Structure formats: structure tokens, C-alpha cells
């Protein structure tokens, strides 16, 4: 149990250290570690954790880490994974807060952040592409993807009602088709 908790702390501390740009950037790293390398969760499980993490109050990265930690080692695993995810950010933000005023106008710092933003945007594009491929399983799924995109991007609707609505449509669709999964 202690070994599992230490492993979870280290794993999520490493992921948290390189999650520059928010919780969405964490998804490719989570997928590589949890699905491909460790085999702890399936792609569907990870998408479900991420969806719940997005739908519940709090930070997506922390919510997702908490779910994974709980699944692996119960309450102590959840605490360990959450602390691991938070620890690097806490250390970095304290260091940045102490030195930011000295470096914020530095052209090299500004250019570095510009490059980081481009890399983060690229990671997001490829992650979204992979998620859409795995989620688009039938007509209802494809329709929900397109409708969700239009409502959030074009209509500027908050993601919350879109997520709730998509969940209800998925539920009704499963009930209508008689799916037990």
C-alpha cells in the first residue's frame, strides 16, 4: 500500500511537472502512462474520468488524478495522486512568484512562453483528434461531437449544459437501443 502510494505520488508529480498549459495538456501524458505503459485503465475509462473531472467542481488535472489514485489504492491512493499532481505546481508557482517581476520583460522569457504555447496547442490538437476517433462510434456519437462543437465554439454556450445534455442524450440513446453497457 505504501509502495503504491509513493508510486502514485511520483507518477503524478512527474505528470504535474510537465503539465504546462492546464489540465487538457495532461491528457496525452496520462494516456501514455496509464493506458499504454501501465495498462491501468482503458481509453474509455480515461475519457470517463476526464469527463467527470471536467464536469465536477475543481481543477481537471487534480480531479482526474484523484479518480485514478482512488481506483489504484483507495482513499490513500487518491490523496497520494492528488498531492503528487499539486506538488510540482506549488513549488513552481512559489518560485515564479518570487522571481517573475525580474524576468517578465525579458525578450527570451517572452519568446520561450510563445514557443510553449504553440507546443501546448499542438498537443491539444492531436489529443482531441485521438479522442474524437475513439468517441465517434455511431451516428449519435458523431452528431453529439458536431453539435457540442457548434454549441461551444460557434454559439459560445457554456460547456456545462453541453456536457449535461450530451450525457442525457447518451443515456436516452442507450435506453432506446437497449444497451446494457
Please name the residue that has the C-alpha cell 467542481: 57
| Structure-block grid coordinates of residue 47 | 475519457
| Spatial separation of the C-alpha atoms in residues 15 and 25, rounded to whole Å | 10
Q: Buried b vs exposed e over 63-76: b needs ≥16 C-beta within 10 Å?
A: bbbbbbbbbbbeeb
Report the pLDDT value the prediction gives residue 22, as an integer from 0 to 100. 66
| Spatial separation of the C-alpha atoms in residues 157 and 147, rounded to whole Å | 11
| DSSP code of residue 19 | -
pLDDT at 21 over 70: no
Q: Which burial class, exposed, middle or buried, applies to 168 when counting CB atoms under 10 A from its CB (0-12, 13-18, 19+)? A: exposed
pLDDT at 1 over 60: yes
CB within 8 Å of 159: residues ≥ 6 apart: 54, 152
Bigger pLDDT: 70 vs 60 = 70
Residue-wise pLDDT tens digits, 100-155? 788 878 899 889 888 988 988 888 888 888 888 888 888 989 999 999 999 999 99
In the chain, domain spans: 2-104
Q: How far separated are the first and last CA of the chain, in Å rounded?
A: 31
Place 179 in a pLDDT band, splitting at 50, 70 and 90. Answer: low
| Spatial separation of the C-alpha atoms in residues 63 and 67, rounded to whole Å | 6
Please name the residue that has the C-alpha cell 511537472: 17
What HEC string does 96-136 produce? HHHHHHHHCCCHHHHHHHHHHHHHHHHHHHHHHHHHHHHHC
- Phi/psi zone of residue 20: left (φ > 0), alpha (ψ -120 to 50 degrees), beta? beta
Percent of the chain residues topping a pLDDT of 70: 96
Asked if 76 and 8 touch (Cβ cutoff 8 Å), the reply is no
| Spatial separation of the C-alpha atoms in residues 73 and 65, rounded to whole Å | 12
pLDDT at 172 over 80: yes
Bigger pLDDT: 52 vs 151 = 151
pLDDT at 23 over 70: no
Amino acid at each position: 500500500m505504501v509502495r503504491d502510494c509513493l508510486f502514485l505520488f511520483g507518477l503524478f508529480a512527474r505528470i504535474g511537472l510537465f503539465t504546462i498549459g492546464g489540465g487538457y495538456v495532461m491528457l496525452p501524458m496520462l494516456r501514455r502512462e496509464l493506458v499504454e505503459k501501465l495498462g491501468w485503465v482503458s481509453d474509455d475509462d480515461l475519457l470517463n474520468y476526464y469527463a467527470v473531472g471536467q464536469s465536477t467542481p475543481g481543477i481537471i488535472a487534480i480531479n482526474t488524478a484523484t479518480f485514478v489514485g482512488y481506483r489504484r489504492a483507495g482513499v490513500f491512493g487518491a490523496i497520494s495522486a492528488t498531492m503528487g499532481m499539486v506538488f510540482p505546481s506549488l513549488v513552481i508557482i512559489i518560485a515564479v512568484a518570487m522571481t517573475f517581476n525580474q524576468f517578465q520583460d525579458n525578450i527570451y522569457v517572452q519568446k520561450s512562453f510563445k514557443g510553449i504555447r504553440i507546443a501546448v496547442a499542438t498537443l491539444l490538437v492531436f489529443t482531441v483528434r485521438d479522442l474524437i476517433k475513439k468517441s465517434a462510434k455511431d451516428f449519435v456519437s458523431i452528431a453529439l461531437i458536431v453539435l457540442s462543437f457548434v454549441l461551444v465554439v460557434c454559439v459560445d454556450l457554456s460547456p456545462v449544459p453541453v456536457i449535461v445534455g450530451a450525457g442525457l442524450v447518451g443515456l436516452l440513446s442507450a435506453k432506446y437501443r437497449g444497451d446494457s453497457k
